Structure 1
Amino acid sequence: MDLQIRPARPEDAPGLAELLNAIIARGGTTALEDPFTPQALDRAYLTGPDVICCFVAVERPEDGDGGRNAGFQTLGRYHGLPRDVGDIGTFARVGGTGRGVGAALFAATAAEARRQGLTAINATIRADNTGGLAFYSRMGFVDFSVRAAVPLKDGTPVDRVNKRYDLRPGA
């Protein structure tokens, strides 16, 4: 698989909304529970005022013609976090995890976060999302807190694990 990593653009919103909505519909790996319109996704994760950066992984077929979205990673401002700490979200196409999409996206995201002077990146992951927890640990994130029993829409309590990636030199 040949991946192209590039900054997200507003015209990516329909395809990325489809990708994210499939993840939400499957359930179990994201705290997000309501589907996104392309406009809402663009504002929240691609180009809105709280977005620091967002990168898209485009899977290029062997013949080099066209391509499809393999995933995206967004870094934004989140209430309760200091201005120099970004909050990350990583989304890979259903059935497309474990193929290096997240790691390729994270290389671009971490570089841009450093360029913009951020000191750290926060990731909040559902405690039952073992794949997500393992991914962020592989990227170098370390656990720093747990919010216990955060209810889903149906009332099911699920812990949220907060992980942090330090961007400061030598850290």
Structure 2
Amino acid sequence: MITLSGNTIYLRALEPEDLDFIYTIENNESVWEVSNTQTPYSRFLIRQYLKNAHQDIYEAKQLRLAICQQETGETIGLIDIFDFDPKNNRAGVGLVIGSQSHRNKGIGSEALALVIQYSFQQLQLHQLYANIGSDNEISLQLFTKFGFQKIGIKKDWNRVNNVYKDELLYQLIQ
């Protein structure tokens, strides 16, 4: 898919071979705060999820794509279009880069640019939104860089280690 190919990365549909990578991401407690996860996922559940990953976005209301390096093909992250609402032409977007060694290298920016373009051109969406923890400075900078604007604050929205944190709602309208 040329639409989902950038300079250093490309985005692709999930494959059964992604099981170990997704298992590692979903069970990494350090990212649970951004993914609203509270319990570990078994390989069985992830395998079941991958069996249904072929579903069309109109059926599943979600599209999860692997972020891969152009040079090596290595999977280094995931980017999701979720809560897809074709009636109102909107969806949420979120991403995670798997290891610290791949972060702060422009991978998230390139992946987000590809998904924004895909969402507005191929899916004909009118808007994208992102839910970002108020203390997640890297994500706030990333989404702001692409024109997402803060439109709301959900006070004490998420409880993390018995501390309530605000979640910010960012929106990009085409």
Query: Could you say which TM-score interval applies, normalised by the shorter chain?
Result: 0.7 to 0.9
Residue of structure 1 in register with 2:3 after alignment = none
Using the TM superposition, give the Cα deviation of residue 132 of structure 1 relative to its aligned residue in structure 2, in angstroms. Answer: 1.3
Residue of structure 2 in register with 1:106 after alignment = 112
Residue of structure 1 in register with 2:128 after alignment = 121
State the alpha-carbon separation in 2 of the partners of residues 165 and 29 from structure 1: 23
Residue of structure 2 in register with 1:3 after alignment = 8
Letter in 1 for 2:29: A
Secondary structure, in 3 states, of the residue corresponding to 1:128? coil
Aligned: 1:38 with 2:43: no
On the 8 A contact 2:9/2:111 being kept in 1, the answer is: no
Letter in 2 for 1:147: K
Structure 2: where are the runs of 5+ without partners? 1-6
Structure 1: where are the runs of 5+ without partners? none
Residue of structure 2 in register with 1:89 after alignment = 94
Decide which moves more: 115-124 or 24-33. 24-33
Aligned: 1:164 with 2:168: no
Secondary structure, in 3 states, of the residue corresponding to 1:140? coil
Secondary structure, in 3 states, of the residue corresponding to 1:77? strand
State the alpha-carbon separation in 1 of the partners of residues 51 and 125 from structure 2: 21
Using the TM superposition, give the Cα deviation of residue 27 of structure 1 relative to its aligned residue in structure 2, in angstroms. Answer: 4.5
More helix by proportion, 1 or 2? Answer: 2
Aligned: 1:145 with 2:152: yes
Letter in 1 for 2:139: G
TM-score normalised to the size of structure 1? Answer: 0.75
Instruction: Provide Cα deviations, 1:69-95, integer angstroms capped at 9, x if missing partner.
Output: 11121102268x973111111111231
Secondary structure, in 3 states, of the residue corresponding to 1:116? coil
State the alpha-carbon separation in 1 of the partners of residues 168 and 87 from structure 2: 18
State the alpha-carbon separation in 2 of the partners of residues 122 and 15 from structure 1: 29
Using the TM superposition, give the Cα deviation of residue 124 of structure 1 relative to its aligned residue in structure 2, in angstroms. Answer: 0.1
TM-score normalised to the size of structure 2? Answer: 0.74
Using the TM superposition, give the Cα deviation of residue 109 of structure 1 relative to its aligned residue in structure 2, in angstroms. Answer: 0.9
Runs of 4+ with deviation above 6 angstroms = none
Residue of structure 2 in register with 1:54 after alignment = 64
Instruction: Provide Cα deviations, 1:31-59, integer angstroms capped at 9, x if missing partner.
Output: 42333342466489x555121x3332212
Decide which moves more: 6-15 or 158-167. 6-15
CA 1:112–1:21: 2 relative to 1, 3 Å: same
State the alpha-carbon separation in 2 of the partners of residues 40 and 147 from structure 1: 33
On the 8 A contact 1:54/1:109 being kept in 2, the answer is: no
On the 8 A contact 1:145/1:161 being kept in 2, the answer is: yes
Equivalent pairs counted in the alignment come to 158
